[in-house]
Amino acid sequence: MDFSHRAIEKKWRKYWEENNIYKTTDTHDKKAYILDMFPYPSGAGLHVGHVKGYTATDIIARYKRMNGFDVLHPIGYDAFGLPAEQYALKTGNDPREFTLKNIDVFREQLKKLGFSYDYDKEVTTSDPNFYKITQWIFEQFYKHGLAEIRYATVNWCPGLGTVLANEEVEIKNGQMVSEVGGFPVEKKPMKQWVLLITKYAEKLLDGLDNTQFPESVKELQRNWIGKSEGMEVEFKIEKGDDLKVFTTRPDTIYGVTYLVLAPENGIVPEITTKEHTKEVLDYIDATSRKSDLERKDESQPKTGAFTGSYAIHPLTGEKLPIWISDYVLNDYGSGAVMGVPAHDPRDWDFATKFDLPIKFVMETKTQDKVFTGKSKMINSGELDGLTPKDAMKKIKDILVKKGIGEPKVNYRLRDWLFSRQRFYGEPFPVLFDEQGNIVLVPEQDLPVKLPHGDYIKPSGTGESPLANFKDWVNVDLDGVKYRRETNTMPQWAASSWYFLAYILTDKPNQLIDINSPEAMERFKKWMPVDLYVGGQEHAVTHLLYSRFWNQFLFDIGIVPYSEPYQKLINQGMILGPDGEKMSKSKGNTISPDEIVETHGADTLRLYEMFMGPIDASLPWSYEGLDGSMKWLNRVYRLIDTQTFTDTNNGHLDYIYNEVVKKVTSMIEDLKFNTAISQLMVLVNAMYKEEENTIYKPYVEGLIKMLSLFAPYISEEMWAMLGNKPSVTQQQWPTFDPTKLVLTTTTVVFQVNGKVRGKAEVNKGLSKEELLSLAKDDDNVKANLEGKTIVKEIVVPDKIVNIVAK
């Protein structure tokens, strides 16, 4: 009969919890730190996309345990965030209570699915014991000159009452809106905390070479950091100070026909002439309402305004008009670029739009369009006739000798805006005295906890709702009055170091001091993370931020390794049955709770791993789900109805050892779908054996391998064979290489080229022996009856073909 998944799941979950089966051990000389990107505990609970990534890591965690590793496989909750705060504003409930209820739902779902997490390692980022360390790390950033308050133009969202990072803003119908809620977003100058991640740009680039990230992820990070090597060239301005312009192509300097500045460039007001002031101010105002995403969009038509001023070409003395345009960003390089329209697509579009001169300085067949290739230099004075490579070397020497240029490295990476005008986030451990000086909260007074009360609506002043809590904001220390920082940290703060928190935890949210000898010993044991699995949507932001935090903590001696993660896998999405991305509005979402109820956790886990490669995005199929359940029933019936033997007749030697070898290799390579296919091959072979002849150790090996994918039913079948304790605590099966040498082969019998029979024979039989076997085959005999044999063709170990008329 089929297995009862509800009864089995209840039974074995109770056993695992009572016996603390998945407790993190520290008894082996090999370790494996297997990490999931932890979830935000939304009110919607887990979705089947979560299950895909979590099952993948669970398979590896179970596999490593069975191979004699100490395994750290934890889970926690990225609990601060806008959704909880928005819920609190709408309902009047405290976001902390709402979040804890959601966490209880998530935890129950995770346990139902049989994931082998050590729940004693659980952390919640909104717990004061957790964010005490977040605040301590921030203080170290400040002490080392990597955190500062800066006046910056930010993405202000009145509807959410907070500043948003560029990554939290979308463009819809030509307007900036928040990713959460779709509220309008505007540009606004505000005082903000920033972390100086740009000082780590080179380390972040170099560190990528020491990771096993997918090349696509490495490239995303390299592009985001955007290292550019070039020169800073001085252009004199007819009226005003010299202007420094960064360029990666100084070899094209003779092709410069204009300069273009970012509208925000501080020099713009100084050089704008009276007759162009209104046009320039109107343009600056229009630009202020655009996001960096819009301004970087190459498809947008070029716009700009002429300042009325001119610069002097440093080599030719020509007058160059100075324009402003929003395709130049003020925080990249010097906020000024030299326009070389003949050889840059953006400059070409700008020059043709405003009828500016176009001067070609490289040979090209036609001058009717921009030329971005490489050819000999022309119209370039002493560079004429040189290749771009030689021209680059020569022009650098010339500019340096003349004192009008110097080598420069720039990065596209911007410093990290670290302030949020929210209630529900980590408070900054910062006080301001009456003169506005910054004072850090003493370490012994951490954490600075969020206040309790009903005043969590936006303050209306641009400050965080924390400004409403007057008793909390105003502090008197030893007779000196201070005012607390009322902004909170972004959600990215906690996720930038949470992988270390699991190592510091022995009971949920009880963390030892991160700056202690014991913490260092633990970090030496467990870091870096051996396998990290999560969605590619975090490939830049979270991954870059957490690498930055870890590298900083390495530099100040808190952790022993500069890179936090060794191997990274981005799991593909599970699409709706219609092939579209799952969403409530489309009505194509799948609830894992419903699947566990109808098909069982094992079926859901097995199906999601069997769908295809872990990094592929594939549509959900109920037929595939049903098929996975049928196969598990088939395995269960094999164990339930057969009697196995301790005597090996050798029939399954080859197939069993081959499957163990292949599955082991496939698990190591995270090829879970093909590993399951191999288990199906083994089950098929066992069903072909006669009653009471299947070798019991091979059946036990099958159950051990299956336990990675379907732990509940595997525990039940392991016990049905009379074994204990838990199958997950057994050793991984090994294969015997001597059993992988086949001594038999299948020979096909043909009559006039058509297959009429076949036989399993010992290898190396003579042609005569094979012919004799073929002629004795009943079907071959029937097809030769009444015919004369004219030719006999024998390919040893493969084919016998009898030609007859």
- Give the closest residue to 655 by CA, choosing from 673, 636, 681: 681
Q: Is 363 helix (H, G, I), strand (E, B) or coil?
A: coil
Q: Tokens 């090209």 map to which residue?
A: 364
Backbone φ and ψ for 285, nearest 5 degrees, come out as -65, -45
Using CA atoms, how far apart are residues 665 and 413, in angstroms rounded to an integer? Answer: 40
Beta-strand ranges (E) seen in 437-571 are: 438-440, 474-477, 480-484, 505-507, 510-511, 529-534, 565-570
Task: For residue 109, give the nearest of 607, 601, 714, 621 by alpha carbon.
Answer: 601
- Smallest CA-to-CA distance from 628 within 676, 586, 580 is with 676
Cα torsion 518, 519, 524, 528 to 10°: value is 160
Residue list, annotated binding site for ATP: 584
Does a cis peptide bond (omega within 30 degrees of 0) precede residue 725?
yes
> Nearest to residue 702, comparing CAs of 732, 674, 722, 723?
732
Q: Which of 56, 112, 45, 108 is nearest to 602 (CA)?
A: 112
- Binding site members: 584
The single-letter DSSP state of residue 457 is S
What dihedral do alpha carbons 584, 585, 587, 589 form, nearest 10°?
A: -30
User: Please, are residues 705 and 635 in contact by the beta-carbon 8 Å criterion?
Assistant: no
* Burial readout 706-734 (b: 16 or more C-beta within 10 A, e: otherwise): bbbbbbbbbbbbbbeeeeeebbbebebbe
**246 bridge partner residues:** 232
User: CB atoms < 10 A from the CB of 97, how many?
Assistant: 11
597 Cβ partners below 8 Å, 6+ apart? Answer: none
d(CA 382, CA 397): 12
